[in-house]
Structure 1
Amino acid sequence: MTKPEIISWLLEGDPSIRWQVQRDLLNARPAKYELERRKIAKEGWGKRLLDLQDSSGLWGGGIYGPKWISTTYTMLTLRLLGLQTNHPQAKQACKIFLDEGFYTDGGINFFSYSLKYSETCVTSMILALLAYFRYPDERIHAIASFVVGEQMSDGGWNCESPKGATHSSFHTTIQRWRDYMNMSVSSRKRKSKSAKSAPVDMNSCWRIACTNRTAQARSSTQR
C-alpha cells in the first residue's frame, strides 16, 4: 500500500506525474485525470518541450539527431509524459516522420544517404509514435507489416540482423514488443495482425538474451 505522504509528494510534482498518480494509484475517474493530463501542454515539462519546437516542426534541428534532443526523442519523451494524442504540434512531427522517412521497403529510413534499408529499432519507435498520436495515414499499415516481417526465427528481433546477426537481442525484442503493443492498444478499435511468435517461455528468454558464444559456453559446461 502506498503511503499517503508519498502520494502527497507525487501530487506536488509536474502535471505529467499527477495525472498518472490519479489514474494508477488513486483510481480516479477518467474525467478527473484527463483534466489534469490536459495541463501537460500548458505548464511544466510538457510545455517547455513544446515551446522548443521550431517553425518547421522539428526539435533540436533534426529528425533523429542530435540524439536525445532531436524530434524523435522529444516526441518519445512527450509520449511518456502523456501529452494528449490530438495535439497539433505532435501531429506536425508525425507528418515529418512519414514524409521524410517512409522508405521503399515499407519501413522508416532517416539514413538513406548511407543505409539502403530501414532500421528495425527506429522504424518501431516511429510506429509507436504514429499510433499513440493517432496519425491518420495508410502508410502506417505498411510500417507495421515491416516490423512484423523483421521478426527472427527464434521469435525475437535484432536491429543488427541486416549486418549478419543470427539470434535475437533481448533488449531489442522487449522494446519492439512494447512499441507493437502500444500500437495495438492505440488501434484497439481496428482489427490488427498479430506477430508470428510462439508463446514465450524461460528457455526462449534465455536464447534471446544470450549471444551465440555465451549460449555455447553454457552448453559445454553442462555436458
Structure 2
Amino acid sequence: MREWLLDSDPALRWQVERDVHHEPPEVWEATRARVATEGFGARLLALQDPDGQWAGGAFFPAGFLGGEDGQPWTATTWSLNSLREWGLDPAVLRARRTAELLAEHSRWEYDDLPYWGGEVDCCINAWTVLNGLWLGADVTGIVDWFVEHRLPDGGWNCEWVEGSTRSSVHSTLNTLKGLLAYDIATGGTDATRAARRSGEEYLLQRKLFRRLSTGEPVAEWVGEFAYPFRWNYNVLNAAEYFREASLFDGIRPDPRLAEAIELIRAARQPDGTWLQARRRPGRVWFEVDVPAGEPSKWLTLSGTRVLGWWESGGQAQVRGA
C-alpha cells in the first residue's frame, strides 16, 4: 500500500514521504518543490488569469448564473485552496504579485466587497484567512471578525446573516482551520486562542458527529469521505484538523475523539485503503482523484496519518520529536 501511495502526483507524494514513510526533510522537501513545475500544481498555475484570479471570479467563475449541475470549483478561492493544500511554495505566487493583483482586481460576488477584506460567509472568510496568511496579505480584520461573530454555543454558522443562532459543524470546522493557521503563523492572541478553544469544544462535546440534544449522529454524511473535502464536514476532515492542532499545541489527542476515530478505522478496507465516496458535483479544471467507489490515495493518506497520530497517543509531538 505504501508503494501504491508513492506512485502519485508530487502534490500527494511529498506528504506520503513525510507523514507515512517519515522520510528526512531533504527527501520530501525536494518532492514538494516539484509541485510548481509538475503535475496538478503546474497545471493549475498555468490557468491563472493575468489579473491574478482564476476563472475571472472570486468564489464563482465570471458570468456564473447558476443552473449547472453543482457549484463550479474553478474560481480563485478554490484554486488557491488547492495550491496551498498541495504544498505549493507561496514564493511562486508572491513572485507573480498574486496578493496585490487580487487586492486590485478581485471582488466578492457578495456586495462587491474587496477580496482580502472577506465577506459575511464564515467558510469563505476562513479560506481567505488561510490563503492570505500563505500569500502575505493582511487578513487581521477577518480574524477579528471571527472573534466577534462567534455564536453563544461556541461555534460559527455561515447562516448567521439570515438570523441563525446555532452553530454548524461545517462552518465551525472551516473557521477553526483559519484560526489555527493564524495562531501558527503569528502566535495568535488571547482572543484568537480563546475562540479556537471554544470552537474545538463545540465539536468535542458532540464527539465530532453526534447531536448534543439526542446523541444521535448529525447525518449520514459525517462518515462519508470524499476528496477534495471542499467545504464539507466529515469526521476524517475534522480529525485532520485536530491532528494538526495537537501537533502545534503539543498536546495528546482528546479522548472524546475516540468514537470518530473508530468510524474512520471502520472505513478502512482490508488492503489498508479508503474508498472515495460520492463527491459533490460541479465544474472542475481537471480531476485529481478517483471516481466514487474506488480506492483513493488522498483519503488513504489522510486516514493513515490520522490513525497513526491517534495510535501513537500524540507521544511524538509531546516529546517534541
TM-score where L is the length of structure 1: 0.75
Structure 2 residue aligned with 1:120, among 119, 122, 125? 122
TM-score where L is the length of structure 2: 0.54
Code of the aligned partner of 1:119:
D
Report 1:102-141 matches (<5 A): 109-113=108-112, 118-133=120-135, 135=136, 137=137, 139-141=138-140
Structure 2 residue aligned with 1:69, among 68, 74, 77? 74
Between Structure 1 and Structure 2, whose CA radius of gyration is higher? 1
Report 1:1-223 matches (<5 A): 6-66=1-61, 67-88=72-93, 92-99=97-104, 109-113=108-112, 118-133=120-135, 135=136, 137=137, 139-185=138-184, 187-188=185-186, 190-192=187-189, 193-196=192-195, 197-198=197-198, 200=201, 204-205=205-206, 210=211, 215=213, 218=214
Q: Does the CA contact (< 8 Å) of 1:15 and 1:37 recur in 2?
A: yes
Q: Which has the higher contact order (CA 8 A, sep 6+)?
A: 2
For residues 99 and 93 of structure 1, do their structure 2 counterparts lie closer, same or farther at Cα, with a shift above 3 Å needed? same
23-32 vs 192-201, greater mean Cα deviation: 192-201
Code of the aligned partner of 1:44:
G
For residues 151 and 90 of structure 1, do their structure 2 counterparts lie closer, same or farther at Cα, with a shift above 3 Å needed? farther
Code of the aligned partner of 2:41:
G
Aligned to 2:252: none
RMSD: 3.0
Q: Does the CA contact (< 8 Å) of 1:169 and 1:208 recur in 2?
A: no
For residues 51 and 60 of structure 1, do their structure 2 counterparts lie closer, same or farther at Cα, with a shift above 3 Å needed? same
Q: Deviations over 1:85-104 (max 9, x none)?
A: 222268633334444568xx
Deviation at 1:209, TM superposition (A): 6.6
Q: Deviations over 1:159-194 (max 9, x none)?
A: 101111021011111111122212322x15x44332
Gaps of 5+ in 2: 62-71, 114-118, 216-321
- Distance in 1 between the 2:46 and 2:96 partners? 15
For residues 155 and 99 of structure 1, do their structure 2 counterparts lie closer, same or farther at Cα, with a shift above 3 Å needed? farther
For residues 110 and 203 of structure 1, do their structure 2 counterparts lie closer, same or farther at Cα, with a shift above 3 Å needed? same
